[in-house]
Amino acid sequence: MDKRSGPSGRLWLEVLYRLLDANGGKMNGKFLLAVVVVALLVVAGFVAFRLILVDMILSLRDSH
Structural domain count of the chain: 1
| pLDDT at residue 25, rounded to an integer | 62
Rounded to whole angstroms, how far apart are CA atoms 50 and 41? 14
Please enumerate in sequence order all residues whose Cβ is within 8 A of that of 20, keeping only pairs 6 or more positions apart, or say none. Answer: 26, 27
Per-residue pLDDT tens digits for 20-57: 776 666 667 777 788 889 999 999 999 999 999 999 99
Average of per-residue pLDDT across 3-31: 70
| pLDDT at residue 6, rounded to an integer | 59
Query: Residue 49 belongs to what domain range?
Result: 3-62
